């Protein structure tokens, strides 16, 4: 019965590799063929492995089946072109004698180029994200629909239109020229950032943490760092940010899957190697004159790996939040800043800044006010926590808020 869990895992890790290589081989004009061959490969595994057992090297088995299915597809196209309809020219017959290259280097190159092809400005940002989640991250249509809080039908239509647009524009699977690199790279980094965030705080799956998504985001970012043309300061800063956050994975969740608040985390469970790697990539990000949101968020994340509750720590965090709001304002960043402000200037200052935001549809807003009012006005703190409880979206969040309320009683 091991195949029941192994095949979904391999689909997540290998589907994207097969699709990327086949898309690079066929071109984006035949993206559906690449997806069909990859999907059919996993269907064959699901039918074969329960009867014959799991092969010693499951990924290599999948690659070989994908190669064979590709050759069969191309041979059928050749037969049609030469025997059935000799007057019809079929692009699908070109290069059928060529070996489909699923070597690690070609897989990485194909995925890297696919990231930039899918993030072409010819399609909308929502479509870029949806296609990336589907093709590069192995998401199912239902997962994508959950992430966008919409229906599977809507996602299917959106992805179909995006694919058609990429075909119309005759987008090549290649890295963009230097003049277009920064704009396209910004879109790629946004998708990786969103993927990590969905894993770090997963709303679509009602889970506090999905490590598989976070690790996938880190893998994609590592590919960018390892390529000379995409190894930019912002890429290193994003990888540093993710390393710092990932270093606290084991301390964020208890044995019941409940969220452990930062101040209650056991620092001995933090991963020192990942903190060190984060520092390494943050130092590499310091080259040049570019200052991105990822630099600033990585700076905040770094100080959050320093457990000591010192004035220096919170002064630095507040500084980074102030700069972040200047270049990439968001209500959540503004809300998080108020906690740092309270640490530096006292709770009344934090409360005043938080209440100005009026994020009355966000449970984090009321949870933070509950935290800030605790010890200042416990009745108001309880009132805010109870409001947060009604708005919380996950069981883990509700459990954490309930504990806060219990401490006030």
Range of the domain at 42: 1-102
What is this structure's pTM? Answer: 0.84
Total domains in the chain come to 2
- DSSP classification of residue 391: H
Q: Is 139 helix (H, G, I), strand (E, B) or coil?
A: coil
Which of 102, 136, 161 corresponds to the end of one domain? 102
Q: How many residues does the chain have?
A: 409
Tell me if 346 is assigned to some domain: yes
Comparing 39-53, 94-108, 219-233, 327-341, which segment has the lowest mean pLDDT? 94-108
Q: Looking at 102, 128, 149, which one is the last position of a domain? A: 102
pLDDT in tens, 214-268: 998 999 999 999 999 999 999 999 999 999 999 999 898 877 766 777 888 899 9
Give me the residues paired with residue 207 across strands.
202
Is 391 within 8 Å of 361 (Cβ atoms)?
yes
Residue 149 lies in a domain: no
| Range in 77-86, 107-116, 307-316, 368-377 the model is least confident about | 77-86
Q: Domain of 359: which CATH number?
A: 1.25.40.10
Question: Is residue 116 in some structural domain?
Answer: no
The total of other beta-carbon atoms located within 10 Å of residue 303's CB is 19
403/266 Cα distance (integer angstroms): 18
């Amino acid at each position: 019965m091991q195949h029941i869990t192994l095949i979904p895992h391999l689909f997540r890790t290998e589907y994207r590799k097969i699709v990327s290589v086949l898309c690079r081989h066929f071109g984006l004009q035949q993206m559906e063929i690449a997806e069909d061959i990859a999907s059919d490969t996993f269907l064959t595994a699901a039918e074969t492995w329960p009867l014959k057992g799991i092969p010693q090297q499951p990924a290599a088995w999948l690659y070989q089946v994908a190669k064979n299915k590709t050759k069969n597809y191309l041979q059928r196209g050749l037969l049609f072109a030469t025997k059935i309809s000799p007057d019809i020219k079929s692009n699908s017959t070109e290069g059928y004698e060529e070996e489909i290259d699923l070597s690690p280097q070609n897989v990485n190159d194909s995925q890297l180029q696919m990231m930039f092809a899918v993030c072409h400005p010819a399609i909308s940002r929502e479509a870029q994200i949806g296609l990336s989640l589907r093709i590069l991250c192995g998401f199912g249509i239902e997962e994508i629909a959950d992430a966008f809080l919409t229906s599977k039908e809507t996602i299917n239509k959106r992805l179909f239109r995006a694919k058609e647009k990429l075909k119309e524009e005759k987008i090549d699977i290649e890295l963009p020229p230097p003049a277009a690199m920064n704009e396209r790279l910004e879109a790629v980094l946004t998708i990786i950032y969103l993927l990590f965030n969905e894993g770090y705080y997963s709303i679509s799956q009602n889970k506090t943490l999905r490590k598989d998504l976070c690790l996938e985001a880190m893998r994609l970012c590592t590919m960018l760092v390892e390529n000379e043309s995409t190894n930019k300061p912002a890429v290193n800063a994003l990888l540093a940010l993710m390393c710092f956050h990932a270093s606290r994975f084991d301390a964020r969740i208890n044995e019941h899957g409940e969220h452990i608040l930062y101040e209650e985390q056991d620092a001995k469970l933090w991963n020192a190697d990942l903190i060190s790697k984060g520092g390494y990539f943050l130092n590499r990000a310091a080259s040049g004159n570019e200052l991105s949101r990822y630099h600033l968020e990585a700076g905040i994340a770094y100080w959050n790996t320093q457990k000591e509750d010192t004035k220096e720590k919170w002064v630095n965090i507040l500084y980074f939040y102030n700069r972040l709001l200047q270049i990439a304002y968001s209500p959540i960043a503004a809300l998080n800043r108020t906690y740092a402000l309270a640490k530096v200037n006292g709770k009344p200052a934090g409360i005043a800044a938080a209440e100005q935001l009026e994020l009355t549809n966000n449970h984090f807003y009321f949870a933070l006010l509950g935290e800030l009012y605790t010890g200042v006005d416990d009745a108001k703190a309880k009132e805010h926590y109870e409001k947060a409880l009604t708005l919380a979206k996950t069981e883990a969040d509700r459990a954490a808020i309930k504990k806060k309320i219990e401490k006030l009683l």
